[in-house]
Structure 1
């Protein structure tokens, strides 16, 4: 078996003021600690970085949460009023979010909008993966807009770089919708062609067989832009692709 995925504990500060901080979270750094095992977390790293602020009354509140294997922009409020302000903006869908994603195949379309409700699969039928979501009419409203940026190949496999604009923020929304359209994200262990990849990864870690099936150690999703205008506040942040995704597409 190959070595397990490296846990990158570093993150980059993209922007910061007295009331909030924006960081570029790498994959597979988890945002919050879990009860399953002790491991580095983004929150823990932020608490160390902002220890002086915290000693002087700051309270950290993560506004947008990313999956472990999703990289990109994370906004964190330092003050209660900032957390409330950003929270209201999220509820009113005033945040503009954009993601870069690499999917399998070459979509027949250049642009595509999908309005498909999402529901946890385990609520309807037996599922070995508790968190797995599915498209279902009884689910919560979910809308995603996809645009093809470019098409190419990776080791003979057709892949496409997408720019993705989620209109809602459901769990795994982009990944589920991409798979529903027939173009799952590269490296997606749950919503790819074989969900047993996830189960095998959980049990035994990364392996040569998984590498052959998935092509990438993590799913190819990156939160690249975030913006909002609320009252007199107008904010925007944007970052480029991570090295692993950039190198993958160019390979």
Structure 2
């Protein structure tokens, strides 16, 4: 008789015993990770704000928020172990940015703060502002709101978002406000303010307008502008406004525009906002 067969379990029950419980596996993301002194200095250099409740980071491009490409890859979530407390608690990321998107990202230091901010995200109490450099600026009006539903599409380990009809069974509402801050005949600098938070929302909505983000290979972005290669996806999370978990008042954190984006704007004669 197998020790896990129904007959065996009934025999245990008759003897007043309980079968031995198998230990639950712990997700790899919750297992403590050793952070080198070099990596601790690196992630510490990303901090733009911290108090007893939250931390704000200026995530560089080419760093995943979570996961990563390969078993030895870095991601910001793992780097939070650099700030682990004696209790074993570490800051928890409240939201994500795409791997190649730079800019502000928020983490919570306590369980109550994590819960509070998570609920604030659900009720859309966060306001996010991004800057993007796009090609085909003639396709963009000075101001426009895109209200185009999106659906997720997966092939193997790769995922995309696609604009779809509102009655598609997988459709998710998606709204983004766009404002052109500076433009030339070849490119434009655009302020992007997503109302919803769908995967790749800003990237897909700009491509839908016919003005994809420069360097965005996945959605048709230009790989060179003015005869020079675009260094990466030209999308930066400039600021984030959220209700602070201590007092509930709005707080805004900002991430300075990175050098590669500044240099690209200068080369294209696009004027960055103050």
TM (norm. structure 2) is 0.73
Which of 195, 208, 216 lines up with 1:188 in the alignment? 216
Shift of 1:67: 0.6
State whether residues 98 and 226 of structure 1, in contact with CA within 8 Å, keep that contact through their aligned partners in structure 2: yes
Q: Tell me which residue corresponds to 2:30.
A: none
Please, which runs of 5 or more residues in structure 1 have no aligned partner? 1-8, 195-209
Which of 141, 147, 162 lines up with 2:173 in the alignment? 141
Which stretch of the first structure deviates more once superposed, 35-44 or 167-176? Answer: 35-44
State whether residues 59 and 80 of structure 1, in contact with CA within 8 Å, keep that contact through their aligned partners in structure 2: no
Shift of 1:69: 0.1
Shift of 1:234: 2.3
Which secondary structure does the structure 2 equivalent of 1:121 belong to? strand
For 1:182-203, what per-residue CA distance to the aligned partner results, in whole angstroms no more than 9, with x for missing partners?
0000000100159xxxxxxxxx
Which of 52, 55, 65 lines up with 1:18 in the alignment? 52
For residues 91 and 14 of structure 1, do their structure 2 counterparts lie closer, same or farther at Cα, with a shift above 3 Å needed?
same
RMSD: 2.4
Give the Cα separation in 1 of the matches to 2:60 and 2:50. Answer: 18
Give the Cα separation in 1 of the matches to 2:55 and 2:243. Answer: 17
Which of 177, 184, 199 lines up with 1:152 in the alignment? 184
Q: Does 1:28 align with 2:62?
A: yes
For residues 233 and 56 of structure 1, do their structure 2 counterparts lie closer, same or farther at Cα, with a shift above 3 Å needed?
farther
Give the Cα separation in 2 of the matches to 1:214 and 1:80. Answer: 47
Q: Tell me which residue corresponds to 1:247.
A: 263
For residues 24 and 57 of structure 1, do their structure 2 counterparts lie closer, same or farther at Cα, with a shift above 3 Å needed?
same
Which of 109, 112, 115 lines up with 2:147 in the alignment? 115
Count of matched residue pairs: 217
State whether residues 81 and 90 of structure 2, in contact with CA within 8 Å, keep that contact through their aligned partners in structure 1: no
State whether residues 187 and 214 of structure 1, in contact with CA within 8 Å, keep that contact through their aligned partners in structure 2: no
Q: Tell me which residue corresponds to 2:195.
A: 167
State whether residues 115 and 144 of structure 1, in contact with CA within 8 Å, keep that contact through their aligned partners in structure 2: yes
Runs (4+) of structure 1 moved beyond 4 Å? 210-214
Q: Tell me which residue corresponds to 1:99.
A: 130
Give the Cα separation in 2 of the matches to 1:113 and 1:235. Answer: 25
Question: Which structure: larger Rg?
Answer: 2
TM (norm. structure 1) is 0.79
State whether residues 186 and 214 of structure 1, in contact with CA within 8 Å, keep that contact through their aligned partners in structure 2: no
Q: Tell me which residue corresponds to 1:203.
A: none
